């Protein structure tokens, strides 16, 4: 698909709006062909969406600035209109996270898996709250306190979400830190939004 910036903006902005959760307030996003990456300001939450439509456009922006773009004239200049100081550093960090997290199943072991988070006690209630709370899950060896909130998994009625916990992706031998992955199926877009974070095991 050719570099149609208006079509590009009209496609990615609703996806970012629907998937970013709390990251949209102060976080960042990047687009490379085939992927949208979102990152919280402190880089503790990473959200990756693989998209089927290929735009040959490279974009890095503050999410809040991207979501302000409404007019087609502004869409034509989206790269310039969303430029910010430090853009290249944040973009490089997001691309680095993309390479790591899309390869997570080959880099470390999954130690907990739940195909339907609504089977986890209290998830249904906590996932409707805007504040981040913690719920307990366990395998046969350890208990884990998992962050959960509508601001993390922005779920609508027809959406689904699963949870996996991995040994810490940066050091699988570190027993005090684990990496979590929410895979959120967004029915409106027919896309999966993978949300990653690291947790401390208490």
Among 49, 73, 102, the domain boundary falls at 102
Residues 43 and 70 in one domain: yes
Residues 155 and 194 in one domain: yes
Cα torsion 195, 45, 91, 27 to 10°: value is: 110
Mean pLDDT of the 128-155 span: 94
Domain that holds residue 130: 107-200
Number of domains in the chain: 2
Predicted local distance difference test score (pLDDT) of residue 140: 85
Among 102, 123, 148, the domain boundary falls at 102
Residues 118 and 196 in one domain: yes
Residues 134 and 184 in one domain: yes
DSSP, residue by residue, 14-75:
HHHHHH-TTHHHH-EEEEETTEEEEE-TTS-EEEEEE-SS-----EEEEHHHHHT--SHHHH
Residues 174 and 117 in one domain: yes
Closest to 145 measured CA to CA, from 169, 119, 112, 173? 112
Residues 87 and 129 in one domain: no
Q: Which residue has the higher pLDDT, 175 or 178?
A: 178
Does the pLDDT value for residue 128 go beyond 60?
yes
Residues 83 and 118 in one domain: no
Confidence of residue 2 (pLDDT cuts 50, 70, 90): very low
Among 81, 102, 123, the domain boundary falls at 102
Predicted local distance difference test score (pLDDT) of residue 3: 56
Does the pLDDT value for residue 130 go beyond 60?
yes
Residue-wise pLDDT for 32-60, tens only, equals 999 999 999 999 999 999 999 999 999 99
Residue-wise pLDDT for 73-111, tens only, equals 999 999 999 999 999 999 999 999 999 999 999 999 999
Residues 87 and 150 in one domain: no
């Amino acid at each position: 698909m050719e570099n149609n910036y208006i079509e590009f903006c009209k496609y990615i902005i609703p996806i970012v709006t629907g998937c970013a959760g709390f990251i949209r307030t102060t976080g960042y996003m990047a687009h490379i062909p085939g992927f949208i990456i979102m990152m919280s300001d402190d880089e503790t939450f990473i959200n990756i969406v693989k998209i089927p439509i290929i735009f040959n456009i490279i974009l890095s922006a503050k999410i809040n600035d991207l979501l302000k773009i409404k007019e087609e004239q502004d869409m034509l200049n989206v790269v310039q209109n969303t430029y910010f100081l430090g853009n290249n550093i944040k973009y490089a960090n997001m691309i680095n996270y993309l390479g790591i997290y899309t390869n997570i199943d080959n880099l470390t072991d999954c130690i907990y898996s739940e195909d339907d988070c609504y089977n986890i006690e209290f998830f249904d209630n906590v996932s409707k709250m805007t504040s981040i709370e913690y719920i307990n899950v366990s395998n046969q060896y350890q208990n884990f306190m998992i962050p959960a909130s509508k601001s993390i998994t922005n779920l609508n009625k027809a959406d689904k979400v699963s949870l996996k916990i991995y040994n810490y992706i940066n050091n699988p031998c570190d027993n005090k830190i684990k990496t979590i992955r929410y895979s959120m199926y967004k029915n409106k877009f027919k896309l999966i939004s993978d949300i990653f974070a690291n947790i401390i095991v208490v």
